[in-house]
Amino acid sequence: MRKTLLTGLVVGLLTIVMAVPALASNGKSGESNGRAGTDLTITVLSTGLTYDSIVTANLPMKGPFQKLDGPTHTTDYGPGDPGYVGGRWWVDVNGDGEMNEGDAFFLCPLLGPGRAG
């Protein structure tokens, strides 16, 4: 119960924090090239491309996940890269550097095409 509540709270806060710039810019993300209705942008380090994205669901800690880092929303791999798992992300909420029950797990697909960030 505590895990579910914590995960919901973290993802909810992430969604609110990321949606405020979108709402302030008439439905566009914080990026000047953002598309209406997107919650955030994610930068893929392997390619340097930035993608619009939207948080769609909390997920249980089952199956593969890819780490989403920090307030800048960066990740190592994107579409076409080995290691990209299609927008299944985990955020190291408890700061221990390990994927475990103290973290947030959610679906947040990258919306192509990517653009130079």
Taking only the tens place, the pLDDT of each residue in 1-25 is 555 544 554 454 454 444 333 333 3
Q: What is the pTM of this model?
A: 0.67
Quick check: 46 pLDDT over 50?
yes
Distance, C-alpha 15 to centroid of its chain: 9
Q: Structural domain boundaries of the chain?
A: 2-116
Map tokens 């579409």 to a residue: 79
Is the alpha carbon torsion for 31, 32, 38, 39 positive or negative? Answer: positive
**Which residue would you say has higher pLDDT here, 102 or 38?**
102
Q: At a CB cut-off of 8 Å and minimum separation 6, what does 6 contact?
A: 93, 102
Taking only the tens place, the pLDDT of each residue in 62-97 is 999 999 998 889 999 999 999 999 999 999 999 999
Provide the phi-psi class of 97: left if phi over 0, else alpha when psi is between -120 and 50, else beta: left
- Separation CA 74–CA 114 (nearest Å): 13
Map tokens 């939207």 to a residue: 54
